[in-house]
Chains A and B, each alone.
Chain A
Amino acid sequence: MCTDCGCSITEHQKTHQHLQDNPQLNDKKTIDVITKILDKNDHEAGHNREHFNAHNVMCINLMSSPGSGKTALLEGLADLADFNFGVIEGDLETNRDADRLKAKDIQAHQIQTGSACHLDAFMVHKALHHMDLDAMDVCFVENVGNLVCPASYDVGSHLNIVLVSIPEGEDKIAKYPVMFRQADLILFTKTDLLPYFEYDMEAEKAMARKLKPNVDILEVSTKDEASMKKVANWIKFKMEMR
C-alpha cells in the first residue's frame, strides 16, 4: 500500500537477481540485474493510474512540439465536449496555459518544470493531489512541448494523443518515430492552413501507419467545429470502452 496516499499498489517487486562468482578475480563479482532503467518512474506511473482508476477517470497524455495546438485543442473541447475534464499543465516556465483553461472554467493545475524537458510520473503524482478527480471524467496531462523526451516517460495515462501541426512541415513522423509510436491517436492540427503549405497529408498518414499500423488519425482545425467534435467523440468512445 502506498504510504503517501494509501492507494493499493504494492511495493516494488524485487527484480530477480542472481550472483555469478567470477573464479579469476577473487574480489570482484558480476551480477545480472535486468532492471528497466526507468523502473521507478514506471512504478510511479502505475500508481498514478491506480488513482485515476479509483476515481473512474480516464487520463490522456497530450504530446507535441511547442505550439502545435495542445492548449487550443483543450480550449476548444471546453466549449463542446459532453464530458467533464481537468488539465495538468506542464511547461518550463509560466502559468499561462493553466490560466487560459481556468478562464474557460476548466480545472487546471500548472507544473513548472524549470529545466526538465518532459513531465515524469512523480511530477504528475504531485499535481494529482491538487486535482479534484471526482469532479471530472477525463484528466488531460498537457506535456512539455517537445517531440523527444516525453516519449520515454510513462506518466500514468491510459491513452496518448500526439499532435503534429501543418506549419511544422512534412516528415515529422519519420524524424521522431519514438514519439509517434507512442500515439493511440495522431491529430494533424491547423488543417485550415493546408492551402499555404506544401504538405502531403496522405504520405504523412501512410508513414504513421508504417510505424504503428493500428493508430487512429484525425485532422483538426480550431476553426472547424465539426473536426473538434470528432476528437471529443473519439474520447467519449474510449471512455465507454473502459
Chain B
Amino acid sequence: MHEYSIVQSLLDSCEEYAQANDAINVTKVVVKIGVMSGVEPDLLQTAFNTFKEHTMCEEAEFVINIQPILIKCNACEQESTLSKNEYGCPICQGVDVDILDGEEMYLMQLELE
C-alpha cells in the first residue's frame, strides 16, 4: 500500500506550489498515472480522500488521467501506444524502442484560489 506514501508526497508538492503562488486553497489537482508506474488508481483515490483532510487540498477535486505506454521505435521511427505489456513495436516488431510515457506518475496541473 505505497499509495499512501505517494499521496503524502503529492500533498506536500501541492502545498508548496500553493504557498509559492500565495493561494489559500487548492480546488483541483490533476495527476497523470502511467499504467506501468506501479500505482493503482483506485487506491490512490482512496488515499487522497483520506489524507487530504486538514490540508490545503481538503476541498480539491482529484482528477486522475491514466497514461498508457507510449513507445517510439528506433527501427521504423513510429510512435505507438501499447495495449499489452509487450515491449516491442507493433508496426515492425522491433524491440529497440524508447519509452516515451506510461511508466511514471506526474502532478500535472493545479487550480488555486
Contact = CB atoms under 8 A, between A and B. Distances in A.
Interface of A: 17, 19, 27-41, 116-118, 120, 148-149, 151-153, 174, 177-179, 181, 210-214
Contacts of A212: 87
A30 B109 contact: yes
Nearest to B25: A28
Interface in B16-45: 17, 21, 23, 27-28, 31, 36-39
A107 B113 CA distance: 53
Contacts of A37: 6, 9-10, 13, 31, 105-107
Interface of B: 1-2, 5-6, 9-10, 12-13, 17, 21, 23, 27-28, 31, 36-39, 85-88, 95, 103-113
Contacts of B5: 116, 120
Nearest to B86: A210
Nearest to B6: A37
B95 A213 contact: yes
B5 to A, nearest CB: 7
B69 to A, nearest CB: 10
Contacts of A179: 38
A30 B87 contact: no
Contact of B106 (A35, A178, A211): A35
Contact of A117 (B1, B10, B105): B1
8 contacts: A28-B111, A29-B23, A32-B109, A33-B108, A33-B110, A38-B105, A39-B13, A40-B9
Contacts of A151: 38
Nearest to B39: A152
B85 A36 contact: no
Nearest to A35: B107
B64 to A, nearest CB: 11
Nearest to A27: B113
A119 B1 CA distance: 13
B111 A148 contact: no
A31 B16 CA distance: 13
A17 B23 CA distance: 15
Nearest to A42: B104
A213 B17 contact: no
B67 to A, nearest CB: 13
A177 B85 contact: yes
A38 B1 CA distance: 15
Contacts of B6: 37-38, 152
Contact of B2 (A34, A36, A153): A153
